[in-house]
Structure 1
């Protein structure tokens, strides 16, 4: 029985163990050759892009314009309700296209609406709307002037432009207005009807 046990033990390989066995030289050689090939490949395939392939923009092309853009302000703040065409949503949000409030002779009417908002019934082109219009008093005078000018000259409207000085004057005149305008009740007299 001892012979069979001895034969069985001879067939088995010794258990692996860590020790001071060095990494085989062939493995180190392969790693070294791969590293040399990588360095050579990067060096030989390096091709700096010529400036002629660029897009010719300079830092000034990325500067934000100092003046407010009424179209951008409209897109960011008004499109959700009044739509991209200025047609509004029938029965819900009034149109801005050919609206008596937008085409008013005095741009101060629209400025007042933007500065303080509206709460309550407002008639636009003979259709009564009863909702809320938020105020945009957070906008600077320049931004409100740009937005008013944009709306008054878009969507088929041909009213005159306005400027920041006019907005500042209306802001000062209406600084006591703490609540939104009460629709037709407060605003209709401004149209001179």
Structure 2
């Protein structure tokens, strides 16, 4: 190959890329510096001691429950909402709803027994079949906590409006099945309780 042809081949090639200096525009630097200085000025010139009348006028005592009271809503959120959802609507085909559920609203004895011993197997809720497992809470909740959760489910969750129960009722239900160590077998065990 002649020297002339080598030179022509080199002319057809693009030159190797090289890095060029592309500094940040001065306008952008000035804006950043201005915002930084304004932020410092704002922090040091702000009055952080606000008047107590600003806001909704609530104090810490407004958020505290009466002595010895148990918050059924908080227990529900901590122990039940992961499956039944915070709204109590459940997850279609997986976890049954608690809002409008016949097991929650009809006989409180059945709901307490479900809470105490849990469920395995098939259960029908609002005409839909669910097949899974619900843990028991007999060891986790004492009578006062169980009463608070049951009352939250029956009287507050998602507009449910059934009669509340008292702690003596829950205690009696716990004693009635104190020797039971296994879960209820869904519809097979629970349906007779509804009669």
TM bucket (normalised to shorter chain) is 0.5 to 0.7
Cα deviation, residue 95, structure 1: 0.2
Say whether residues 1:128 and 2:139 are aligned partners. no
Structure whose CA Rg is larger: 1
Cα distance change, pair 189–62 in 1 and its aligned pair in 2 (3 A): closer
Note the alpha carbon deviations across 1:47-96, whole angstroms, 9 max, x for none.
xxx9x87x999996786651111111111111100011110000000000
Distance 1:78 1:144 in 2: 12
Q: Secondary structure at the match of 1:155?
A: helix
Structural RMSD (CA): 2.4
Provide the C-alpha distance between the structure 1 equivalents of 2:133 and 2:94, rounded to a whole number of angstroms.
10
Q: Which residue number in structure 1 is paired with residue 82 of structure 2? A: 80
Match of 2:114 in 1: 113
**Structure 1 residue 96 corresponds to structure 2 residue 98:** yes
Within a 5 Å distance, the mapping from 1:63-74 to structure 2 comes to 65=66, 66-74=68-76
Q: Flag as ranges the 4+ runs of structure 1 deviating above 6 A.
A: 55-64
Cα 1:100–1:64, aligned 2, differ >3 Å: closer, same or farther? closer
1:182 maps to which residue?
Answer: 185
Judged with a 3 Å threshold, the aligned counterparts in structure 2 of structure 1 residues 62 and 70 are, in CA distance, closer, same or farther, namely: closer
Q: Structure 1: any 5+ residue segments left out of the alignment?
A: 1-49
Give the C-alpha shift of residue 176 in structure 1. 1.6
* Superposed displacement of residue 180, structure 1: 0.3
1:151 aligned onto 2:168: no
- TM-score of the pair, normalised by structure 1: 0.67
Q: Equivalents in 2 of 1:124, 1:59: separation in Å?
A: 41
Is residue 162 of structure 1 aligned with residue 188 of structure 2?
A: no
Q: Please, what TM-score do these two structures have when normalized by structure 2?
A: 0.66
Higher alpha-carbon deviation: 56-65 or 155-164? 56-65
How many corresponding residue pairs? 143
Distance 1:89 1:139 in 2: 24
Q: What residue in structure 1 maps to residue 142 of structure 2? A: 140
Residue aligned with 1:101, SS: helix
* Number of the residue aligned with 1:191: 194
- Secondary structure of 2:147's match? helix
How many angstroms apart in 2 are the aligned matches of 1:170 and 1:108?
Answer: 7
In structure 2, runs of 5+ residues without a counterpart are: 1-48
User: Cα 1:180–1:157, aligned 2, differ >3 Å: closer, same or farther?
Assistant: same
